[in-house]
């Protein structure tokens, strides 16, 4: 299918949030060099017959009705918006109106009709150049402060402490602090905050530049997902992918849903101290980083969006729709 045969591609709803920029705006900008691309805040800004890439929070029944009446081809990217299974059922009309549900983690697939589920990765956005890294002796966690209670509790229960830990987070955000206290109360750990800046643990306010500096200088990085939280359990592996592409030794606590869908192994959190100093592991990590960086390039992930659009328009599975490309350029897309 050539680019000229695709209807206009519209991305939205436009929001100020990072997920929109990462999953929506960045990919739309890359595709706009080769396809007719537009943006919308409200669906009435989209012309009839267009392909709609809807990022994150689902619309209501009124939006679903518009989609069906106006012959729009809707692709829904929920990312990590759903809080529980009931939350998914509440938006059944919108989900049913979507031609494809484009998931960033396969663990969510059982909650949707398998006939219209597809998969896509985040492109590698926040990584650093491995050759520029100058590791120091600290271990890094990056994430929303609302999840800090889970992280601190996991660290305190480790048989072998990591030593110096830096938490890069949005502690100054009032909403995040309120959510953190709510989560801490649910797990019986209300005094978690004092551990965020005590002993070998330091908390630093997140900014993009602070994250870059921390990734350039950390010895290793880790992620923690709380198994008792639906949203946490079904998070995509974006942080681990970011660290791998940057050749940063990394680990995650066992039981995380996305581990079953990866073609590579991720060390357990208890193994992180060892692998951070393991020459054989670091050699394997370098090889994996090169491969994964190519797979998660903006060009490659943008091609995947066109595959998904083509599949949705045909309403049948398309085994292989590859874009002709040269370097980072997408020239055309053909079945």
What's the CATH code of the domain at 233?
A: 3.40.50.2000
Radius of gyration of the chain, Cα coordinates, nearest whole angstrom = 21
> Is it the case that residue 32 has pLDDT exceeding 80?
yes
Tally of structural domains, the chain: 2
Residues 145 and 287 grouped into a single domain: yes
> Is it the case that residue 3 has pLDDT exceeding 70?
no
Q: Give me the CATH number covering residue 101.
A: 3.40.50
> Is it the case that residue 160 has pLDDT exceeding 70?
yes
Start-to-end C-alpha separation, the chain: 6
Residues 155 and 25 grouped into a single domain: no
> Is it the case that residue 333 has pLDDT exceeding 60?
no
- Taking residues 90-111, what's their average pLDDT? 95
Residues 179 and 318 grouped into a single domain: no
Residues 154 and 267 grouped into a single domain: yes
Residues 224 and 142 grouped into a single domain: yes
Strand order in the sheet with 117-119: 37-39, 9-12, 51-55, 73-77, 100-103, 117-119
> Is it the case that residue 208 has pLDDT exceeding 80?
yes
Q: Can you tell me the distance from the alpha carbon of 233 to that of 4, in angstroms, rounded to the nearest whole number?
A: 41
What sign results for the dihedral spanned by CA atoms 167, 168, 173, 176? negative
Least confident of 57-66, 178-187, 308-317: 308-317
Residues 182 and 275 grouped into a single domain: yes
> Is it the case that residue 59 has pLDDT exceeding 50?
yes
Residues 154 and 31 grouped into a single domain: no
Residue from 284, 161, 148, 259 nearest 203 by CA: 148
**Range of the structural domain that residue 137 is part of:** 130-295
> Is it the case that residue 329 has pLDDT exceeding 60?
no
Residues 109 and 190 grouped into a single domain: no
pTM, entire model? 0.88
- Taking residues 7-14, what's their average pLDDT? 97
> Is it the case that residue 275 has pLDDT exceeding 60?
yes
Q: For strand 322-326 and strand 329-334, is the pairing parallel, antiparallel, or unpaired?
A: antiparallel
Residues 157 and 271 grouped into a single domain: yes
Q: What is the SS3 assignment for 334?
A: strand
DSSP 196: G
- For residue 257, the model assigns a pLDDT of 85
Residues 110 and 231 grouped into a single domain: no
Q: What are residue 322's DSSP bridge partners?
A: 334
Q: Higher-confidence residue: 261 or 13?
A: 13
Residue from 106, 178, 172 nearest 146 by CA: 178
- Taking residues 231-244, what's their average pLDDT? 94
- Count how many residues are written for the chain: 335
Residue from 31, 96, 27, 35 nearest 61 by CA: 96
pLDDT band at 315; cut points 50, 70, 90: low
Residues 44 and 154 grouped into a single domain: no
Q: Can you tell me the distance from the alpha carbon of 13 to that of 10, in angstroms, rounded to the nearest whole number?
A: 9
Instruction: Tell me how many degrees the CA angle 58-60-62 measures, rounded to the nearest 5.
Output: 135
pLDDT band at 323; cut points 50, 70, 90: very low
Q: Can you tell me the distance from the alpha carbon of 300 to that of 302, in angstroms, rounded to the nearest whole number?
A: 5
- Residue pair 42/82 in contact (Cβ under 8 Å)? The answer is no
> Is it the case that residue 288 has pLDDT exceeding 70?
yes
Q: What is the mean pLDDT of the chain?
A: 91
Residues 179 and 246 grouped into a single domain: yes
């Amino acid at each position: 299918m050539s680019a000229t045969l695709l209807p206009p591609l519209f991305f939205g709803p436009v929001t100020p949030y990072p997920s929109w920029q990462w999953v929506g705006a960045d990919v739309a900008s890359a595709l706009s060099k080769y396809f007719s691309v537009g943006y919308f805040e409200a669906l009435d800004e989209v012309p009839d017959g267009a392909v709609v890439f809807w990022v994150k929070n689902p619309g209501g029944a009124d939006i679903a009705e518009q989609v069906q009446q106006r012959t729009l081809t809707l692709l829904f990217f929920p990312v990590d918006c759903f809080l529980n299974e009931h939350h998914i059922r509440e938006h059944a009309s919108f989900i049913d109106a979507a031609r494809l549900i484009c998931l960033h983690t396969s663990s969510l697939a059982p909650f949707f009709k398998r006939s219209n589920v597809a998969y896509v990765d985040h492109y590698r956005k926040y990584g650093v150049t491995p050759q520029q890294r100058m590791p120091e002796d600290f271990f890094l966690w990056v994430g929303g402060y609302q999840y800090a209670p889970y992280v601190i509790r996991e660290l305190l229960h480790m048989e072998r402490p990591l030593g110096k830990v830096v938490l890069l987070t949005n502690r100054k955000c009032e909403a995040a602090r309120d959510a953190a206290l709510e989560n801490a109360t649910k797990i019986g750990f209300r005094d978690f905050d004092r551990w965020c800046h005590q002993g070998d643990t330091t908390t630093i306010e997140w900014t993009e530049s602070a994250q870059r500096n921390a990734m350039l200088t950390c010895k290793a990085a880790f992620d923690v997902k709380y198994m008792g939280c639906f949203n946490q359990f079904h998070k995509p592996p974006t942080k681990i992918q970011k660290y791998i592409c940057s050749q940063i030794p990394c680990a995650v606590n066992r039981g995380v849903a996305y581990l079953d869908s990866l073609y590579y192994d991720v060390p357990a959190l208890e193994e992180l101290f060892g692998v951070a100093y393991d020459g054989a592991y670091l050699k394997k990590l370098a090889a994996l980083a090169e491969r994964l960086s190519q797979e998660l390039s903006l060009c490659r992930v943008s091609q995947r969006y066109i595959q998904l659009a083509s599949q949705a328009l045909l309403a049948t599975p398309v085994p292989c729709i590859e874009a002709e490309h040269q370097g980072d350029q997408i020239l055309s897309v053909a079945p």
